[in-house]
Amino acid sequence: EVQLVESGGGLVRPGGSLRLSCETSGMTFITYEMSWVRQAPGKGLEWVSYINIGGSAIYYADSVKGRFTISRDNAKNSLYLQMNSLRAEDTAVYYCARRYCSTAGCLFDYWGQGTLVTVSS
């Protein structure tokens, strides 16, 4: 069974930092691209960042570019998101999502349960 388990969320003051982790199991992690997607309270889904299999291709939403860093450790089957200079508008549930790719294209097929990040003084 594929499992994605996020951790590392919590309450942080504006300007602070947090590092989220996503531990995966039941899948061959090294063969999947991965992303972070967030959801502010009562709002819709917002894609945050993407990393390819080897970590050589990385993309960010404009809203987090320069502040967030995505990374992965294929030996530990884990995905990370280092979040610096946090703002109130970064308050959200952060989901780790597996990106499945075929000849037809790619999509998010599995999601974690999410970890809540609250930025407040």
Partner 1 sequence: DIVLTQSPDFQSVTPKEKVTVTCRASQYIGSKLHWYQQKPGQSPKLLIKFASQSASGVPSRFSGSGSGTDFTLTINNLEPEDAATYYCHQSGSFPLTFGGGTKVEIK
Binding site for partner 1 (CB under 8 A): 35, 44-47, 50, 59, 61-62, 95, 99, 104-109, 111-114
Q: Which residue lies nearer to partner 1 by CB, 93 or 119?
A: 93
Q: Report the first-to-last Cα separation within the chain, whole angstroms.
A: 40
CB of residue 60 to partner 1, shortest distance in Å: 8
CB of residue 31 to partner 1, shortest distance in Å: 18
Residues forming a β-bridge with 70: 81
Tell me the residue type at 104.
Answer: A
CB of residue 42 to partner 1, shortest distance in Å: 11
Give CA torsion, residues 85, 89, 95, 98, to 10 deg: -70
> What's the rounded Cα separation, in Å, for the pair 68 and 77?
20
CB of residue 77 to partner 1, shortest distance in Å: 19
Q: Which residue lies nearer to partner 1 by CB, 24 or 35?
A: 35
SS3 for 40-82 is CCCCCEEEEEEECCCCCCEEECCCCCCCEEEEEECCCCEEEEE
Q: Which residue lies nearer to partner 1 by CB, 23 or 46?
A: 46
Q: Which residue lies nearer to partner 1 by CB, 11 or 107?
A: 107
